[in-house]
Homo-oligomer: A and B are copies of this chain.
Amino acid sequence: MRQQVGTNLPKVGSYNQNVVLDAIRSSGTTSRVELAERTGLTPQTISVIVRRLLAGGLVREDGAQPPAGSSGGGKPRTTLRVEPTAGYAVGVHFDPGQIGAVLVDMAGTVLAETRRGVHAGLGPEEAVALMGRAVRKVVRAAAIPPRRMLGVGLACPGPIDQELGLVLYPPRLAGWDRVPLAAMLERATGSRVIMDNDATAAAIGERWSGVAKNIGNFAYIYMGTGIGGGLFLSNQVYRGPFRNAAEIGHVVAAPDGPPCYCGNRGCLEAVACPAAMVADARRLLAGGAGGALAAAYAKDPGSVDHEALCGAAAAGDELARSVVDRVAAHLSNAAVSVTNMLDVELLVLGGPALGAVGEIYRAAVAEALAARPIARHIHRVPVALSPAGGGAAAIGGASLVFHHAFAPQLTTLLSPTAPAVAPRGAHQ
């Protein structure tokens, strides 16, 4: 993984084809002329690649339109767009608390979804059976042609061994140790399974069809039971040489803070995850504070949960809001550090734990990124909430399949092994 390798013509051909497909995808609609400008490829190369994409059914050509700014003269341009029905993927999100699945088309539209809670202490066999059932359910609901089903993408809590498809030793799944979850789900579904951790999957989903479609460098902060992260740098998923990068939840947020399960101290996750927030709220409630939340939980302050806390904060309860603001300040510090380190163009917040307070976090982080990064005079870093809400990891799971098949990846262009198989059109 540390070696710098050369490349060759077949790899370049496959890479260029994916570059063109990616440019079409991220543009929405575009023309051959624009594709040549955007990709730096010659009009001849664009023409050959587009013909191949059309023949493979991956792209559709819409009727001729006059060129922008023309008064009707000149050669009309036809527009190209990704063919949404060219292929479908199922995304599965496995979380210690629930299992969700979505069926998504090539354009990123969710056609079917399902979700169910699971009990703590769930074992791998039972989990895989539930995931398999969820996959069958969304496939049936969407009624897609089986031959256009490209595969299943599985988003699950880290740490994982992506190459071997193992869940390694998730902090919140006792007894799960090096479980070959990808292979088990392949057996249960009969589909190829691509696995990644939930935060990376969510980031890839945002790039494939969300708020980061056109963004080459962004950081994703995923707020779930824990806090994870995903990074796109120079148009590529950045995983690091040992595939453990983007652990934004374990940036030091409070140097004298509490120990984190990871072995570090004062991690962002340790001070800002739902459990830390709830502990904080219970402490404040037990201290005899006033307000709506205190009144509602007067009898049993220990029973307040994350959902109630976020709901109260969104409704203006002062105590709840102070807990949320403290988390927003930690998120802001981490976001400033990430921005100063990586000079990203966009920061995305997503995941189920945003709950009712996502906009409070977004506004606080946006204010910090407008005022504090060293390069703020050169460019403003916007902050976006994932439009996928709590479904970000499941949609991300589906995008793992598309990303693997169709994104232009340097790991393929510069792989020391034989060239990857050229992308297949789903119609072939």
A178, CB-defined interface residue at 8 Å: no
A98, CB-defined interface residue at 8 Å: no
A2, CB-defined interface residue at 8 Å: yes
Contact A264 B4, beta carbon cutoff 8 Å = no
Shortest beta-carbon distance from A237 to chain B in Å: 11
Shortest beta-carbon distance from A378 to chain B in Å: 5
Encode contact with B along A332-347: 1 for CB under 8 Å, 0 otherwise.
0110111011111100
Q: Give the residues in chain B near A45, CB-CB below 8 Å.
A: 6, 8
CA distance A242 to B252 in the complex (A): 25
Within 8 A of B (CB), among A220-270: 229, 231, 233-236, 238-248, 250-255, 262-265
Contact B262 A333, beta carbon cutoff 8 Å = no
CA distance A340 to B343 in the complex (A): 17
A286, CB-defined interface residue at 8 Å: no
Q: Give the residues in chain B near A7, CB-CB below 8 Å.
A: 12, 15-16, 413
Q: Point out the residue from B245, B252, B372 that lies within 8 Å of A343, measured CB to CB.
A: B245
Shortest beta-carbon distance from A10 to chain B in Å: 11
CA distance A39 to B263 in the complex (A): 38
Contact B416 A39, beta carbon cutoff 8 Å = yes
Encode contact with B along A13-28: 1 for CB under 8 Å, 0 otherwise.
0011001101100000
Using CB atoms, name the residue of chain B closest to A17.
B6
Shortest beta-carbon distance from A261 to chain B in Å: 10
- Residues of A within 8 A of B (CB-CB), count: 81
CA distance A39 to B5 in the complex (A): 4
Q: Point out the residue from B12, B235, B236, B415 that lies within 8 Å of A40, measured CB to CB.
A: B415
Contact B3 A216, beta carbon cutoff 8 Å = yes
CA distance A254 to B257 in the complex (A): 11
CA distance A373 to B214 in the complex (A): 32
- Measuring CB to CB, which residues of chain A are less than 8 angstroms from any residue of chain B? 1-9, 12, 15-16, 19-20, 22-23, 38-42, 45, 159, 214-217, 229, 231, 233-236, 238-248, 250-255, 262-265, 329-330, 333-334, 336-338, 340-345, 371-376, 378-379, 408, 410, 413, 415-417
5 A-B residue pairs with CB within 8 Å = A6-B39, A7-B16, A8-B41, A234-B241, A240-B343
